[in-house]
Structure 1
Amino acid sequence: MDKNSLERTSIIDNGENGVVISNDINKNVVHKTNSLYWDTKGNDFLKAIVLPYYGPFISEEKCQLFGDVSGKKLLEIGCGNGQSLQYQGERKASELWAVDISERQIEKATQHLKSCGITAKLICSPMEKECGIRTDYFDYVYSIYAIGWTTDLEGTFQRISSYLKKDGLFIFSWSHPIHRCVASENDIFTIKKSYFDESWYPVAVDEGELLLADRKLSTYVNALAKAGFVIEQMIEQTDEEIMQSRADNSDMAKRAKMFPVTFVIKARKL
């Protein structure tokens, strides 16, 4: 098998019986498909989750995972349109770097940060690949709803560890795997797929398509341990105050009242 292939079976999630499309997916195909979406259809979609929010109904202002970042060097994995970098810049970070797979999002982030008077070094590259980011350099590496797109979780965590100074912090959020397993119809939740299935599959979003894999929480935890991290905190509960302040009765809010829709991990490099 080619070294760029993912050794999993890909299933189309068509709401009925999954259809096997191949026994492996080339990593380059995943990168090409997802970067095309973010270069085109994904512009508005990527505005949905940026700091101070880690995901639906979880905020940095309440959790305080970063603490004081003034004078610190920060690297963002998957910067999108740059709004999370703006948040960190306004909190007086001394140096901002970021990587994103989408050329269009790098362009948008560059324009946005320039309009805010914030300087950052932005690199267009898949997060899995060596791309000139300094090692043993950063106080924080963080990722807001982007880390799950990696085609090589262990390799990505190893790279992130190399970027961080000793005792540096890695903070990331992603869709909770339970959330992806549950379907809703007429306010009734049912299990639509196995929690243990980590296959890649296509997802139709806003007339475009993404390739996605749902990893178990244990997969993230074990990959962090293998990369030399110790977990200091994990958050998966919904902030009731945020939900109440928004008077939100959406499907996402109904889900969040019943089970986790987002998880956030804060880990320290040993």
Structure 2
Amino acid sequence: MYTDIIAINKNSWEEAAENFYGRNSLPEYGPLAPLEDELNLFGDVAGLNILDFGCGSGHSLKYMDERKAKELWGLDLSKNQIDAARKLLDDSHSKVMLFESPMEENPGLPEGYFDIVYSIFAIGWTTDLAKTVENVYRYLKSGGSFIFSWEHPLYSRVRLKERALIMDQSYHEEGSYDHEAWKIPAMMQQVKVSTYINTLIDQGFHIERIEEDVRLTEKDRERHSNRWYSYDKATMVPTTLIIKCRKP
């Protein structure tokens, strides 16, 4: 079943990749979310080996290169995204290794090798959260960090109507769903906050930080007018869940 969903999502991303070039990349964690400049979850990455899960067009890896990371590794389901990332990172000072692969599979990544694994607004595309987190744990060195962000599980469960939030879907329902804001057939995963936390704990991670604040400026008000990630809705419910944890 999960292989069918991966195939659907791969086809969707091959078609949509160009529309997401450079979007939702560090220092941004997600729409209307705090920036890395404010949170400082990564700290100094100079000389570190970095792996990006769902690297997209490579702009987050470019951000890491500008901060003098030693090695840049990334994987993404889409060939078009990997091609874009490879072109973007062509003049990087860091060593670059990119793989076209789903998160649930290991395309040849070394275990116990990375100082940081991160995923910026991509982990909700996994068909198997436990397997993906297990992979991340294996790839990390002891003491290494896993940092990820995704749409906050509450955000798609409520609607804003005349300054009131109306819950029209159960928060308790988890699993694959066709996101209404995604115009091409694709399946994302609804996961409760507790499921994220417990999955990390079950795999052996120590959780260090959870962020669900919003960042609202007048520029954001104009930028997100009449969009899925609405400024007005974000004043009442978080758009993004951000978690940092560590492999002991």
Sort the TM-score into its range (normalised by shorter chain).
Answer: over 0.9
Superposed CA offset, 1:129-148 (max 9, x none): 12110110000000001111
**What percent of counterpart residues are identical?**
39
Distance 1:53 1:201 in 2: 25
> Which residue does the alignment assign to 1:8?
none
Counterpart code for 1:61:
D
Q: Pick from 219, 231, 238: which aligns with 1:260?
A: 238
> Which residue does the alignment assign to 1:148?
124
Alpha-carbon offset, residue 155 of structure 1: 1.1
Distance 1:158 1:44 in 2: 31
> Which residue does the alignment assign to 1:97?
73
Given that 1:41 and 1:206 are in contact with CA atoms closer than 8 Å, whether structure 2 keeps it comes out as: no
Counterpart code for 2:141:
K
Counterpart code for 1:210:
A
> Which residue does the alignment assign to 2:158?
182
Pairwise mapping of residues 168-179 of structure 1 onto structure 2 (< 5 A)? 168-179=144-155
Distance 1:52 1:107 in 2: 22
What is the count of residue pairs matched by the alignment? 243
Q: For structure 1, which runs of at least 5 residues remain unmatched after alignment?
A: 1-25
> Which residue does the alignment assign to 2:4?
29
TM-score, L = length of structure 2: 0.92
Distance 2:166 2:153 in 1: 14
Superposed CA offset, 1:170-195 (max 9, x none): 00000000001012345543112100
Given that 1:201 and 1:211 are in contact with CA atoms closer than 8 Å, whether structure 2 keeps it comes out as: yes
Q: For structure 2, which runs of at least 5 residues remain unmatched after alignment?
A: none
> Which residue does the alignment assign to 1:192?
168
The DSSP-based 3-state class of the residue aligned with 1:264 is strand
Pairwise mapping of residues 3-82 of structure 1 onto structure 2 (< 5 A)? 26-45=1-20, 47-57=22-32, 58-82=34-58
Given that 1:113 and 1:119 are in contact with CA atoms closer than 8 Å, whether structure 2 keeps it comes out as: no
Superposition RMSD on alpha carbons, in Å? 1.7
Q: Please say if 1:124 is aligned against 2:96.
A: no
Distance 1:156 1:28, change over 3 A: same
TM-score, L = length of structure 1: 0.85
